[in-house]
């Protein structure tokens, strides 16, 4: 029988994938994306990356994981255990994480 992944293997694989795509974005693009999330966190208590992607195109769609990880490190927001179906056609209504703002005004 093959090796079955546990949750820790899955988390490690996710983090490795985020690290892999992060260098694909210039520092200027990444700073602009983080600033967009900062503005969103100030104006909404909860949101998904669908709310961000409408405002900014990414050099690589998976880069939003790195953006959100950076924003969480900066204490702008934190992930919740909730999801919503994505409104983006390219996502085929797959679940996307709901994020909670830590700086909502």
**pLDDT tens-digit profile of 4-42?**
666 656 556 555 554 554 555 567 788 888 999 999 999
Residue 93 lies in a domain: yes
pTM for the model stands at 0.73
Q: What pLDDT does 16 receive?
A: 55
Residue 45 lies in a domain: yes
Long-range pairs, 80-83, Cβ under 8 A, ≥24 = 80/46
Residue 12 lies in a domain: yes
Residue 1 lies in a domain: no
Residue 29 lies in domain: 7-101
Q: What is the mean pLDDT of residues 41-45?
A: 96
CA–CA separation, 83 and 18 (whole Å):
19
Residue 94 lies in a domain: yes
The answer to whether residue 93 scores a pLDDT higher than 80 is: yes
Q: How many domains does the chain have?
A: 1
């Amino acid at each position: 029988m093959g090796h079955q992944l546990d949750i820790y293997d899955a988390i490690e694989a996710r983090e490795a994938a985020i690290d892999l795509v992060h260098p694909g974005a210039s520092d200027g693009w990444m700073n602009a994306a983080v600033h967009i999330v900062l503005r969103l966190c100030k104006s909404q208590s909860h949101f998904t990356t669908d709310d961000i992607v409408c405002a900014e195109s990414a050099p690589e769609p998976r880069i939003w994981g790195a953006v959100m990880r950076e924003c969480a490190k900066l204490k702008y927001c934190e992930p919740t255990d909730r999801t919503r179906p994505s409104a983006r056609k390219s996502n085929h209504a797959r679940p996307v994480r709901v994020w909670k703002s830590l700086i909502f005004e």
